[in-house]
Structure 1
Amino acid sequence: MTITYKSRNEVPEQEKWNLEDIYADIGKWDEDYHQIEQMNEKLKDFDGAIHDGSSLFQYLKLKEDLSFIFNKLYAYAMLKGDLDTRDTEAQSLIDRAKSLSVKISAANSFFMPYLLSLEEETLHEYIAAEKGLDYFKEDLLDSFRYKSHVLSKEQEGILSQMGEALSVPSHVFGMINNADIKFGEVTGENGEKLELTRGMYAKIMEDEDRDKRREAYKAYYQPYVQLKNSIAATLSGAIKNNATTAKIRQYPSALEKGLFGDRVPKDVYENLITTTKQHIAPLHQYMKIRKKKLQLDELRAYDMSVPLVSGVKRVIPYEEAFATMCSALQPLGEDYSKILHEFKNARYLDVRETPGKRSGAYNLGVYGVHPYILLNHQDNLDSLFTLVHECGHGVHSKLSSQYQPQITARYSIFVAEVASTVNEVLLINYLLNNEKDEKVRYYLLNHFIDQYKGTFFTQVMFAEFEKITHEMAEKGMPLNAEAFNSIYESLFREYNGDEVVFDDEVKYGWSRIPHFYRPFYVYKYATGYTSAIHLATRILAGDQDTLKSYIEFLKSGSSDYPLELLKKTGVDLTTSAPIESSLAKFSDLVEEFSKM
């Protein structure tokens, strides 16, 4: 059974982050804060004073130096705050860092209008005259793509000042979802009443006792239903802010604004949704199998996660999970394995769920330091997959920081999900190949299908929800709890089929999704999964060229556009072929599962 900790003091040091790798104490953080303030004042002096290659280089160098320090400063505040969202000192650091971010944005707001006021020929002359500008050349020239979307100097200044206000909906939802929300009660093993936690919920939804699942499901959604109007207001605010900003910047739509930075055509997004819905039948078939295997008259939302094989409830302690991960990822080579052990030994992972700690899991790469990985580990199969997933991000961060200069070290979210999902595919392959018990293999195949459903189909459904709601905002249509419920329920039915009987809570699914506050992000899970299936399959087949190109991909950061980086590994997402191939794999899995 998973160990429950009442405070962080009970957690072994080896399973907690060492934030001293960033700052030894708050005093050092304060020193950097004041240094950034001074540097930021110097940045302001460049407004109207860049007239040649030398002054342009001096400005860009100072800006990058400031960015290096600020990223550490902000990361420390965020990481410290996420360890206990009730920590008022940490919240104060986050607030100060956010205020400083607005000041930095304001100080730099003059630059893009200035740069785009230049003739491209003039910029080339500056670069030719100042050797130091070679480092910034690609970024400078790429900025001209934004020419029609950058406003006047005065307008950019106003928008930068509004940055903190525009982030309020996301911040409010974060506080509701992580600090303030209280779930209902569930019945413990001895009949006692316990307040539900997210970690408990994930485990209970896999419990074979349907009454327990129903109880947890109702308790989990209770606060979301109660707060539906407040959360709808935050989500509506976030969507409208995004749609309005897109309009102000003269993008054809909020979607195209969201895709512009990665240079992803709108067709790629729409093709993902269209192709998935054209091949949705195997998912509907799986729902029929699930209903039949569970011997239910009605399949409900709280029946979606319980394993279809009884008596194979896997308890996987953290140490065992880490060892399994290292074995499963051996096909990626010895150097990859060494990095994984470094993560554990040097305390890059914060492992345990504790009161007030941010829910979920993530990786944050801090350039010049190392990656930090947040977990809320439960001793089950899902947590093993989460560990493998986040370490994929972590290795990607470490290698990109190691092999790329600061300017190209931070990779796009678009390619991030490839690194994490390749690891998941390698893990499930390892588990299936090393399990002799047919019942357990059946259980693992079931888990792979459910993982596929969550990482691919559910994310495509979320992507369509975002597309519809943003289009409504652009047309001035009302966005409230009733509208969100209607859209979400309709999509849920379309993707999951007619076998599912709806409890009232289903339609409130939108209210608990943090990713909706990062517009047009979730589709990247699906494209990442598609790419990962392709790459992992070839690596497992012993294709050394693919392995080599994949490791180079992990070292590439943002040295090229995401679609181009993937093309170098053999994945072309401008066609429907990778998506169709991935969906064919899912169809095969469902077919195999139905025969076992």
Structure 2
Amino acid sequence: MKHYNSREEVALKEKWNLEDIYPSKEQWEEGVKKVSELTNQLKAYNGQIHNASDLYQYLCIDEEVSKTFTLVSAYARLGNDLDTRDPQSQELLNKAESLSFALSEAVSFFFPYLLSLPEETLKNYLKEEPKLAYFEKDLMEMYRYKKHVLSSEQEEIMSQMGQAMSAPNQIFRMINNADIKFGTITKEDGTKVELTRGMYTQIMRNGEREQRKEAYIAHYEPYIQLKNSIAATLSSAIKNNVTVSKIRHYPSALDKALFGDDVPRSVYEQLISTTKKHVGGLHEYAYVRKEILGVDELHMYDASVKLVEDVEQERSFDDAYATMLKALAPLGKDYIETLSSFKDQRYIDVRETPGKMSGAYNMGVYGVHPFVLLNHQDDINSLFTLAHEMGHAMHSHFSSNHQPFPTARYSIFVAEVASTVNEVLLIHHLLNEAEDVKMRKYLLNHFIEQFRGTFFTQVMFAEFEKITHERAENNEPLNADNFNEIYQQLFKEYNGDAYTLDEQVKYNWARIPHFYRPFYVYKYATGFASAIHIATALLTGDKQIQKNYLEFLKSGSSDYPLELLKKTGVDLASGEPIENALNYFGNLVTEFKQLEY
């Protein structure tokens, strides 16, 4: 595998082309100027929308500025992510962020204004100006919040309190990213070095057992030392959520979080209860791990180490792309031809280079095309990452090309469906192709681990959030001891008794940034289960299922997430997709356990 010391060493075909957004920085500056001018025009509408025509004109300008800002922001962010050290790209990003704040402030009056209108007035406006039909869904969706919106004076106070209310998240980010100093570990030559996150991940997967134990203790050391500060921060975040929910007249913080996607509380609660009924497969997998590792006691520092060694096969990016296209054949000719073109048209930035943003993501840019960032390593993990991100990219492509701007962006609730469908189809293809038993066992283990992290762990986190918020709503104390007690109990319930619980286990809540974005993580689990349901159906070769799934990809946010998923045959309200996913997991564990090489 080649290492790249600069972007100049990377082949042109493996670098995305930002000129597809703006051919030059000068034209980007023109976009910035346009956003500023249109922002001022929007601001002037404050108190000046008196009839249907005024409303339509405002909404047209709002859409125009939003489209332009999307281009300005994408150009700046994508450019910065190619080299986060570059001062010029940082300057562009700072300009884009300043524009965002100004735009947000300029339009802050509109939501309270709209909800101050009697519903009959808004309906009359829609009749008087036929062109308003284009914006009707968005307008009526905003109107759904009417009973949760306060008076204009109260809304202004809430707006002013926004920064203070977000303080717990900011404080945790600073603690976790800037101030945390991990303990030291021993290198092979006997010297001590400070542990980093990157080192920790590698050691947990590949290190010898004593080294893993040492790294595990060092990793948790600062979180335990700062337990009271972090607990106070998390407690404040939870209490803020509860307080805002009460002020806005929601039955609970959970109900407030579910309202936007129109998801019934029963879906959230059923996800948890169904998972806990079928958690036996995860318990069995822990015992399988313990047996394969040959340890008397299974600890959390044993939880990520590879169970199948020496099967890594180098795969070039071209080979990985070709393999992915073969695996996704059940999605049909149109899907495959479109996806194939993404590679040739330079929608993907492939290689890891100095200063480049780590990880991988897709950014759909409306009116242009998706941009996919990778740090491809020519290995099997990179193949899975490729399939995952291209699932997002195809979702963005289809939605942008079949939906108007207001409904083109899909909800976070369904965001992981398309990516995981691709991964399930890929794992199925690779398992069918695997002639070597050891490779088959490796692939099964890869998917089991993904299942464990994306489904079971996220459901456990979701229950932790539910319990802690309910305690706050009942005015019960929340501190480090309470968080420890809740987390440790949940860990035992989900993971079984194969693990010997070290002191560090109960402190895992202290390092989870998702807890500062309330009731978000459950969407990983529902998306994962939905994807397994869809992919399993696609593998039957039923053309109607294929057609229904492609229609889902084209739907953007044209309806609420649960309704969109019903197009694919997934009814999360029934609980069936969760049951099916858990049975699927059980079968994976059974085959993995029985395979011998």
Q: Report the alpha carbon displacement of residue 468 of structure 1 after superposing the two structures with TM.
A: 2.4
- 2:559 counterpart residue number: 560
Of stretches 99-108 and 441-450 in structure 1, the one that deviates more from structure 2 is 99-108
CA deviation after TM superposition for structure 1 residue 497, in Å: 1.1
Q: CA deviation at 1:384?
A: 2.4
Residue aligned with 1:571, SS: coil
Q: Secondary structure at the match of 1:560?
A: coil
Partner of 2:127: 128
- Overall identity of the aligned pairs, in %: 62
Deviates more, 1:135-144 or 1:256-265: 135-144
* 2:334 aligned with 1:335: yes
- The CA distance in 2 between the partners of 1:423 and 1:378, in whole Å, is 19
Report deviation, 1:313. 4.1
* Partner Cα distance (2:512, 2:51) in 1: 48
Question: For 2:371, what is the secondary structure of its paired residue?
Answer: strand
Partner of 1:263: 262
Counterpart of 2:373 in structure 1 is: 374
- Structure 1 residues 167 and 299, CA, compared in 2 at 3 Å: closer, same or farther? same
Is 1:583 paired with 2:582?
yes
What are the Cα deviations for residues 534-583 of structure 1, in whole angstroms up to 9, with x where unaligned? 11111111111100100110011011111111111111111112211221
Counterpart position of 1:415 = 414
**TM-score normalised by length of structure 2:** 0.90
The 10-residue stretch of structure 1 (393-402 or 576-585) with the greater mean CA deviation from structure 2? 576-585
CA distance in 2, matches of 1:479, 1:8: 49
CA offset at residue 380 of structure 1? 4.0
- For the 8 Å contact 1:106–1:157, the answer to whether it is kept is no
Provide the C-alpha distance between the structure 2 equivalents of 1:312 and 1:72, rounded to a whole number of angstroms. 43
Secondary structure of the corresponding residue to residue 518 of structure 2: coil
Please tell me whether residue 142 in structure 1 is matched to residue 136 in structure 2: no
Q: Specify the SS of the correspondent of 1:363.
A: strand
Residue 47 of structure 1 and its aligned partner are, at CA, apart by: 2.2
Q: Higher mean Cα deviation, 324-333 or 224-233?
A: 224-233
Q: CA deviation at 1:15?
A: 3.9
Structure 1 range deviating more: 24-33 or 560-569: 24-33
Specify whether residues 154 and 98 from structure 1 end up closer, same or farther in structure 2 by C-alpha distance, changes over 3 A only.
farther
Query: Counterparts of 1:220-259 in structure 2 under 5 Å?
Result: 220-221=219-220, 224-225=223-224, 231-232=230-231, 235-259=234-258
Query: Hey, what does 2:430 align to over in structure 1?
Result: 431
Shift of residue 126, structure 1, vs aligned partner: 1.1
Q: Helix, strand or coil for the counterpart of 1:375?
A: strand
For 1:343 and 1:225, how far apart are their aligned partners in 2? 47
Shift of 1:402: 0.9
Q: Distance in 2 between matches of 1:368 and 1:446?
A: 40
1:93-121 per-position Cα deviation (integer Å, ceiling 9, x unaligned): 54554444333333323222222232323
Quick one: distance in 2 between partners of 1:35 and 1:310? Answer: 56
Describe how 1:86-101 pairs up with structure 2 within 5 A: 90-91=89-90, 93-101=92-100
> Which stretches in structure 2 are left out of the alignment for 5+ residues?
none
| 1:462 maps to 2:458 | no
Distance in 1 between the 2:403 and 2:126 partners? Answer: 21
Aligned to 1:442: 441
1:102 lines up with 2:114 in the alignment: no
> Which shows bigger deviation, 44-53 or 429-438?
44-53
Aligned equivalent of 1:156 = 155
User: CA 1:261–1:564 in 2, change beyond 3 Å: closer, same or farther?
Assistant: same
SS where residue 145 of structure 2 aligns? Answer: helix
| Amino acid aligned to 1:447 | H
Q: Show CA shifts across 1:292-328 (max 9, x none).
A: 1211111111222233234434544544433322221
* 1:199–1:376 CA contact under 8 A, matched in 2: no
Tell me the distance in 2 between the aligned counterparts of 1:264 and 1:58.
33
Q: 3-state SS of the aligned residue for 2:506?
A: helix
Q: Which 10-residue stretch deviates more, 210-219 or 578-587? A: 210-219
CA change 1:70–1:168 in 2 (3 A) is farther
Report the equivalent of 1:214: 213
The CA distance in 2 between the partners of 1:75 and 1:234, in whole Å, is: 32
Query: Which string of whole-angstrom CA distances, capped at 9 and with x for unpartnered residues, describes residues 335-375 of structure 1?
Result: 22233333333333334445555443322212122222233
Are 1:179 and 1:356, in contact at CA under 8 Å, matched by a contact in 2? no
Q: What residue in structure 1 maps to residue 78 of structure 2?
A: 79
In the alignment, what sits opposite 1:60?
59
1:505 is aligned to 504
Cα distance between partner residues in 2 of 1:220 and 1:378: 26
Residue pairs, 1:511-522, within 5 angstroms: 511-522=510-521
User: Which stretch shows the higher mean deviation, 364-373 or 477-486?
Assistant: 477-486
Q: Could you tell me how far apart the structure 2 residues matched to 1:459 and 1:539 are?
A: 26
CA change 1:325–1:180 in 2 (3 A) is farther
Alignment partner of 1:342: what SS? helix
User: Deviation at 1:134?
Assistant: 0.9
Quote the Cα distance in structure 2 between the aligned partners of 1:205 and 1:462.
Answer: 21
Name which of structure 1's ranges 431-440 and 236-245 shifts more when overlaid on structure 2: 236-245
Change over 3 Å in CA distance of 1:117–1:75 after alignment to 2: same
Q: Which runs of 5+ in 1 are unaligned?
A: none
Moved more, 21-30 or 552-561: 21-30
Q: Deviations over 1:462-500 (max 9, x none)?
A: 211222233344445555555444433332222111111
Measured in 1, the distance between the counterparts of 2:504 and 2:223 equals 9
Q: Check the 8 A contact 1:110/1:156 in 2, yes or no.
A: no
User: Which segment drifts farther, 538-547 or 355-364?
Assistant: 355-364
Is 1:404 aligned with 2:406? no
Structure 1 length normalisation: TM-score? 0.90
3-state SS, counterpart of residue 364 of structure 1: strand
Q: 2:424 is aligned with what amino acid? A: V
Q: CA deviation at 1:234?
A: 5.1
Distance 2:199 2:2 in 1: 12
Q: Distance in 2 between matches of 1:237 and 1:355?
A: 38
Q: Does 1:279 align with 2:284?
A: no
| Deviates further, 192-201 or 477-486 | 192-201
Q: Within 1, Cα distance between the matches of 2:348 and 2:227? A: 34
Residue 73 of structure 1 deviates from its aligned partner by: 2.7
Q: Distance in 1 between matches of 2:354 and 2:184?
A: 16
CA shift for structure 1 position 155: 2.7
Choose 582-591 or 217-226, whichever is displaced more. 217-226
Residues 36-45 or 11-20, more deviating: 11-20
Structure 1 CA distance, aligned partners of 2:224 and 2:315? 34
Measured in 2, the distance between the counterparts of 1:193 and 1:29 equals: 49
Deviation, 1:263, is 0.5
Amino acid at match of 1:575: S
Supply the distance in 2 between the matched residues of 1:355 and 1:475 (Cα, whole angstroms): 50
Separation of aligned partners in 1, 2:432 and 2:344: 29
1:41–1:310 CA distance, 2 compared to 1 (3 A): closer
1:564 partner letter: E
Question: Could you tell me how far apart the structure 1 residues matched to 2:169 and 2:75 are?
Answer: 20
Q: Give the aligned length.
A: 595
